Amino acid sequence: MFPKNAWYIACTPDELADGPLGRSLCGQRVALYRGAGGQVAALEDFCPHRGAALSLGRVVGDNLMCGYHGLVMGCDGKTVSMPMQRVGGFPCIRSYPVVERHGFVWLWPGDAALADEAAIPALPWSDNPEWAFGGGLYHIGCDYRLMVDNLMDLTHEAYVHVGSIGQDEIDASPVRTRMEGETVVTSRIMQNVTAPPFWQDAMRANGLDPDAPVDRWQISRFTAPSHVLIDVGVALAGKGGFEAAPEYKASAVVVDFMTPETETSHWYFWGMARHFKPEDAALTATIREGQGRIFSQDLDVLEAQQRNLRTFPDRRLLALNIDAGGVQARRIIDRLVQAEKTMTTAADAAEAQLA
Amino acid sequence: MFPKNAWYIACTPDELADGPLGRSLCGQRVALYRGAGGQVAALEDFCPHRGAALSLGRVVGDNLMCGYHGLVMGCDGKTVSMPMQRVGGFPCIRSYPVVERHGFVWLWPGDAALADEAAIPALPWSDNPEWAFGGGLYHIGCDYRLMVDNLMDLTHEAYVHVGSIGQDEIDASPVRTRMEGETVVTSRIMQNVTAPPFWQDAMRANGLDPDAPVDRWQISRFTAPSHVLIDVGVALAGKGGFEAAPEYKASAVVVDFMTPETETSHWYFWGMARHFKPEDAALTATIREGQGRIFSQDLDVLEAQQRNLRTFPDRRLLALNIDAGGVQARRIIDRLVQAEKTMTTAADAAEAQLA
Amino acid sequence: MFPKNAWYIACTPDELADGPLGRSLCGQRVALYRGAGGQVAALEDFCPHRGAALSLGRVVGDNLMCGYHGLVMGCDGKTVSMPMQRVGGFPCIRSYPVVERHGFVWLWPGDAALADEAAIPALPWSDNPEWAFGGGLYHIGCDYRLMVDNLMDLTHEAYVHVGSIGQDEIDASPVRTRMEGETVVTSRIMQNVTAPPFWQDAMRANGLDPDAPVDRWQISRFTAPSHVLIDVGVALAGKGGFEAAPEYKASAVVVDFMTPETETSHWYFWGMARHFKPEDAALTATIREGQGRIFSQDLDVLEAQQRNLRTFPDRRLLALNIDAGGVQARRIIDRLVQAEKTMTTAADAAEAQLA
C-alpha cells in the first residue's frame, strides 16, 4: 500500500562507492550504480540474457556489465553489447528515474513519464555550512506506515526512549495536528521543563547551562509519500522557544525517510541535522551513535506490532487525538494510491479504445 | 489438536522476575506478569490502542503499562488509564485465568467460566522438605502429542539414552498399560539388574553400593491435557522395588508438562523431583544438568519425526503394545477436544434460540 | 523437473564412515548406510513404527536399527526384528538401488526394476594410477539445470572467475556445440594465449614454463541426467593442443555431478581429475582448495539467478549460441521426463485393463 509515482530514497551515495548495489524497493528488485561520469543509474536487477542479478556485476564506463557472461547494459535499460553477440534484438529491461540530491539517491518507482525532479523535497540544511548532518539506515520488518504513525506521535518517547529523549512532561502536554497545504503537522510544546539527558548534552555542547529550565518543542511534518521531518529542540525558558535567537537554544531536525521494501518491511533512513556547532565532527559522531541506539528501540516495538497486526488482521485499532498525525498521513497515502489506480484504469480504457 | 478448557503451565515464576513475559501458548499470544501485590496475571499480548505487544511494556502496580504510548491495562483486560485520554470506551482485551501453584504458573486458555483451580494437579513433593526439585524448559518443534508418546513408552531409553539411563534390560521387560480412572498408567519393572550410570550415581549419592543388583521401575502416568509424571527408581534387589523402605532405594519423579505453542511446536517443562538427599543443592544441580542433556537427545529425534510426519501425512503409524500408553492418552485428548466442539455447538444453538 | 529413472550421486563414501546419513535426494528423504559386510544400502528415511528418521539410528550388521525404539530394518525395506514384537505384518518401506563405484555412491530414485548398473557412467581416471582426483560437495539453492547451463557455457569464467581461470581470450573465441550420440559437447579452443593463473600454476607443477604461449581448450560434455565432464588444459602453443604429447601439456577433467534435492536446490559434487603429477598429494590438496574457492563464486551468482527467476516467472530468457549446450541438455532432460510420464500413463492403463 504505497504510491509508486513518488520519489523515495534508494540509498546513500556511500553505498555505491564499492560498486553496484542490489536492493528491493517498493516491491521491485533494483540495481543501483554510479557510472564513470559520476551519474547514478538504476535498473531492474535482471539480466535479459539468463536472468542473473546485474548488481553482482561491475561498472564499465557508464554501463553495468553483467558478472555472469559479460552482457553490457546501458543505463537506459538497453543492452549495449555482449562479446561476439548482436544485441539489437535483446529485450529491454526497466530503467528508473534516479536523482542524487541532498546527500541521498532518490528513485521514482512508478511511471517514468511523470517523474519530476522539482518534486524532490528541499532539505534546506543539506548544502548549508551552518548545519551538520549525521544519519544511518535500518531495515525494519514492518509496514512503513507504522513508522509514520510512530514519528507523527512522539508521545512514545516518554515510554520507548526513557533515559535519553523521553520525559514525563511529554504526556502532560497536548498535541495539535493541523494541515499546512499537503503537509500534516503535529506539534507539542513543553514549557518551563528540565531538559532530558539527550538535550542536556546538546545544551552543554552549545555552551548553555544544562540544568536551566527550558521550553521544548517537537514539530513533526509529514509529506507524501513517506517523509517525516521533525523540528526538535530546547530554548532557555521564556526566550521564544522554537523562535528563540540561536544563542539561547539547541535545535535540530530529525530526518526520517521510509522506503517500502515489501508490504510489511521497509528501509528506514534516519538522521539528525543540527543547527549548532556544525564544525564539531566528534559531536556529529556522538549524536549519530546516540540516535542510532534510540531508534533501534523503536525497531523492536514496531516489529512486534507488525506481528500482532498479522495475527489479528480484523481487529480495529483506536484513532485517538495523539494519533491524528498518522491518521491524516494515511489519508493522503490512501488518496494517492487510489488516484494511481484510477489513472491506470483510465489509461487502460484509452488503450482499449485505440485498439 | 488440544483441549482448551484445561490448565497448562505457562511459565515458571523466575521467568517473571525481570518484568513481563510474552509467550505463544495454545495458539494465542499471551503477556504474563507479576503485579506489585505479588499476583500473577495473563492478558492477550495486544494493546487495544495500536496493537503493540503489551509484554514489551512494564508493570505498574497491579497493571501492565504498554511500552509504546503508556496505556495502562488492568489485569482484567480493561484499560485503566492513558495519559490525557478518556478510556471508558476502549475495547477490552482477553484476560486469562492464571494460578501460581507448586512452583509453576498455570494458565487456562479456554472458557474462563469453566476454570476451576481444584483441577490443577496436586504435586505432592512441591511443598515437602523431604523432596528436592530441579528442572528446565525446552522449546521443541513438534506436536506435544509426540512427546506424550515418547514419555508413555520409555522403551526409547535403551536407544536414545545409551550411557545414562538406557540399559538393555528395558527391552527385555514387558510393559503394562492400564487405566486408573482418567489416568493412563504404563509400567515396566526390571528385576535383579545392574543400575545404569545415572542410577548408579544416585545410589552412590544415597549411600548405596552402585554395583549391587537392583530392581528398577518406571511408572508413567498421563493425565489430561498433557501431563506425564513418571515414578522412577532403583531398590536393592528383593527389597520391595517401588515399595521398598527408603534406606534401600533411590527414587524420583520425572516431571513432564507439555504446553502446546502451535499444532507442531510446544513448550516442554521438564524436571525431576527426588526423594533422597533433598538438602543437597549441588546434587540437584548435577541431576538437573544431566537430565537436561538426556532430554535434549529426545529433541533431535522428535523434531525429525515431526518433519517426517509432515512429509508423509497419509502414512499410518503402527500402534504396538509398547505404544498403548500414547494411544490411550490420545483417546482421552480426542474425547476432550470433541466434547469442546459439541459444547461450542450447543452454546451457539442456545444463543441462536435466544436471538 | 528431473528424470527419476537414472543414476544420481547420493554421497561420497567418506560421508558414511561415521554411521548412517540422511539426505533429501530428488524430492525424497533417503537414509544411506554401509552395512558390516561393506555393502552400501539406501532406504526411505522413515521408520514404519512411528515415523522416526532411520538415519538417526545405527548400523547393526547389514541392517539399520531405528534410534528411537530399536526396530531393525533390512536393506530391502522389510523389518527384520523389534524387541518383543512380531514384525511379520509391519509395512515395508522403500529401498533404493544403490551402487558404490568410481569413488561415489550412485542412487536410482525411480523404478527399481529398470535400474541397470551398466548405465553408470565410466569414469576412466578413477582406478588409474596415472590420474589423481580431489573434489568436494556444495549445497546450492538453485534448480540443478542452472548449474548445467553454467557448465555448458564456460564464457562465464571470464567474468565470474577473474584472477584464476578467467581470461579475456575466452570471450574472443567462438564456442561450438554438437551432439555425439546422446552426449552434448560444447568446445572452445584458444590458440597462442598466455595461460591464466590457475593454469600457470599447473604448468609450473608440471615442469613447463608458465609464461610460454599455450593453446588452451575447454570441452564440456553433458550426459543425462545431469553429469558434466569437462576436458580442460593447456599445451605449449603449436604442440597439438588437447592432442599434444603429455610432456607438452597440463590437462585435467573437471568433474560435475548435480543431484536435485528439490525443484530449486541441488547437491553439487565437484572435483578435478588431473593427468599430471598424480602422486603429488599436496598438489591435489592445493588444486582442490583453489577449485572450491572458484566454484563458490558460482554459488552466489546461481542463487541470485534462481531468486530472479522466482520473482519473474513469466519472463523468457535468451538462448544465444553460447547457450546452445545448456539448451540441448534441457531438451534431453525434457524428453526423458516426458517419456517417464508416458510410461507411467501406459502402465496405469495396462493396470486398469487388468482390473
Q: How far is A301 from chain B (nearest CA, A)?
A: 7
Which single residue is written with the C-alpha cell 558478472? A67
* CB within 8 Å: A308 and B70: no
Mutate to test the interface with C, among A56, A64, A68, A262 (most CBs of C within 10 A): A68
- B176/B321 Cα distance (integer angstroms): 8
Q: Where are the beta strands (DSSP E) in A8-56?
A: 8-11, 21-25, 28-34, 40-44
Judge: C318–A67 Cβ closer than 8 Å, yes or no: no
**Interface contact flag, C301 A69, Cβ < 8 Å:** no
pLDDT tens profile B180-194:
999 999 999 999 999
The residues in A 246-305 lying below 8 A from B, measured between CB atoms, are 300-301, 304-305
Give the Cα separation of B90 and B81 in Å (integer).
10
Residue at B126 is within a domain: no
d(CA C44, CA C195): 48
**C239 and C156 together in one domain:** yes
Q: Determine, for residues C70 and B308 on separate chains, whether the beta-carbon distance falls below 8 Å.
A: no
Touching check for C83 and chain B: CB below 8 Å? yes
H helix or E strand, kind and range, residue C285? helix C281-311
Instruction: Please say whether the dihedral angle defined by the alpha carbons of residues B293, B298, B302 and B304, taken in this order, is positive or negative.
Output: positive
- Cite the beta strand spans of C199-354 per DSSP E: 214-223, 227-236, 249-262, 265-274
Report d(CA A237, CA A246) in Å as an integer: 14
* pLDDT class of B355 with cuts at 50, 70, 90: low
Percent of chain B with pLDDT over 90: 80
- Give chain B positions within 8 Å (CB) of A321: 84-85
pLDDT band at A112 (very low <50, low <70, confident <90, very high): very high
Judge whether C48 and C68 are in contact, CB under 8 Å: no
Q: Which amino acid is at A220?
A: S
Question: Are A73 and A180 within one domain?
Answer: no
Residue C7 CA to residue C122 CA, distance in Å, equals 12
Residue contact C65–B171, C-beta within 8 A: no
Residues C160 and C297 in one domain: yes
pLDDT of residue A352: 64
CATH number of the domain enclosing A15: 2.102.10.10
Same domain assignment for residues A25 and A50: yes
Cross-chain CB nearest to B68 (options A160, A171, A174): A160
Q: What is the pLDDT of residue B169?
A: 76
Question: Taking CB atoms and an 8 Å cutoff, what residues of chain B touch A301?
Answer: 52-53, 56, 67-68
For residue A195, being part of any structural domain is answered with yes
Average pLDDT over residues A161-166: 74
**Residue A136 and residue A55 share a domain:** no
Chain centre distance of CA B233: 21
Q: Mean pLDDT in runs of 10 for chain C (355 residues)?
A: 97 97 97 97 97 97 95 97 93 97 97 96 91 96 96 79 74 87 94 92 90 95 97 95 93 96 97 91 91 89 96 91 93 96 77 61
For residues A100 and A147, state if they share a domain.
no
- Please give the pLDDT value at position A167: 78
Write the CA distances from C177 to C168, C218, C220, C233, integer angstroms. Answer: 21, 12, 9, 19
Handedness of CA A152, A158, A159, A163 (dihedral sign): positive
Whether A241 is in a domain gets the answer yes
Q: Which chain A positions have a beta carbon within 8 Å of B25's beta carbon? A: none
Domain presence at residue C47: yes
Residues A93-115 have a mean pLDDT of 97
Q: Dmax over Cα atoms in chain C, in whole Å?
A: 76
What's the one-letter identity of residue C207?
G
Chains sharing 3 or more CB pairs under 8 A with chain C: A, B
Residue type, A159: Y
Q: How far apart are CA B23 and CA B248, in angstroms?
A: 44
Query: What is the structure's pLDDT at B148?
Result: 97
Q: Are B25 and B109 in contact (CB under 8 A)?
A: yes
Nearest beta carbon to residue B159 from set C45, C68, C84: C68
Q: Model-level pTM? A: 0.91
Helices (H) and strands (E) in chain C, counts: 6, 18
**Which B residues, 94 through 153, put their C-beta within 8 Å of a C-beta on chain C?**
149, 153
Let me know if residue C355 belongs to a domain: no
pLDDT given for residue C276 in this prediction = 85
What is the rounded distance in angstroms from the CA atom of residue A78 to the CA atom of residue A72?
9
Q: Does A209 touch chain B (CB under 8 A)?
A: no
Number of domains in chain A: 2
Query: Cβ–Cβ of A68/C308 closer than 8 Å?
Result: no
CB B320, CB B191: distance < 8 Å? no
Examine the domain organization and report whether C305 and C328 are in the same domain.
yes
Smallest CA–CA distance, residue C329 to chain B, in Å, is: 31
A352 within domain boundaries:
no
Q: Do A53 and C155 touch (CB under 8 A)?
A: no
**Which cell is A333 given?**
497515502
Spatial neighbors of A11 by CB under 8 A, at least 6 apart, are A21, A23, A32, A104, A105
Would you say B79 and B86 are in contact if contact means Cβ atoms under 8 Å apart? no
Inter-chain touch C50–B304, beta carbons under 8 Å: no
What is the average pLDDT score of chain B? 93
Minimum-distance CB partner of B308 among C53, C65, C91: C53
Q: Give the CATH number, domain containing residue B272.
A: 3.90.380.10
Q: Of B10, B303, B340, B333, whose CA–CA distance to B152 is shortest?
A: B333
Nearest to C295 by CA among C249, C252, C244, C255: C255
Subunits adjacent to chain A (3 or more Cβ pairs under 8 Å): B, C
Interface of B with A in 49-68 (CB under 8 A): 49-53, 56-57, 65-68
Q: Check if C323 contacts A (Cβ < 8 Å).
A: yes
Q: Inter-chain contact C49–B311, Cβ cutoff 8 Å?
A: no
Residues C96 and C215 in one domain: no
Backbone Cα Rg of chain C? 23
- Do B157 and B283 lie in a common domain? yes
Alpha helix stretches (DSSP H) within chain B:
144-152, 157-160, 169-172, 197-205, 281-311, 324-354
What is the domain extent for residue A17?
A: 8-119
Whether residues A264 and A316 share a domain: the answer is yes
Residue A340 lies in a domain: no
Judge whether B304 lies within some domain: yes
Q: Where are the alpha helices (DSSP H) in A258-323?
A: 281-311
Helix (H) or strand (E) run with residue A92 in it: none
Task: Tell me which amino acid residue A16 is.
Answer: L
**Which chain A residues touch B53 with a CB distance below 8 Å?**
301, 304-305, 307-308
**Of B29, B31, B39, B95, nearest to B67 (Cα)?**
B31
SS3 sequence, A129-192?
Answer: CCCEEEEEEEEECCCHHHHHHHHHCHHHHHHHCCCCCCCCHHHHCCEEEEEECCEEEEEEEEEE
- C147, C289 in Cβ contact below 8 A? no
Q: What is the pLDDT of residue C171?
A: 75
Which pLDDT belongs to residue C205? 84
Handedness of CA A7, A9, A14, A17 (dihedral sign): negative
Q: What's the average model confidence in pLDDT over A292-311?
A: 93
Q: What is the mean pLDDT of residues B246-267?
A: 95
Q: Do the Cβ atoms of C171 and A57 come within 8 Å?
A: no
Residue A41 Cα to chain centre, angstroms: 19
Please report the residues numbered 151 through 180 in chain A whose beta carbons come closer than 8 angstroms to any beta carbon of chain B.
153, 155-156, 158-160, 171-172, 174
Same domain, A110 and A257: no
Per mean pLDDT, which range of A4-8, B133-137, C185-189, C294-298 is the poorest?
C294-298
Q: Distance (Å) from the C-alpha of residue A80 to the closest C-alpha of chain B?
A: 48
A320, A321, A323, A330: best to mutate for the B interface, most B CBs within 10 A:
A320
Report which secondary-structure segment, H or E, holds A316. none
Do the beta carbons of residue C32 and residue C23 sit within 8 Å?
A: yes
Read off the pLDDT of residues C96-115 as tens digits, 9 standing for 90 and up. Answer: 999 999 999 999 999 999 99
Q: How far is CA A166 from the centre of its chain?
A: 23
ipTM: 0.89
Residue A14 has pLDDT above 90, yes or no: yes
User: CA angle at residue C209 from C204 to C215, to 5 degrees?
Assistant: 100
Query: Are A155 and B49 in contact (CB < 8 Å)?
Result: no
- A158 & A285 share domain: yes
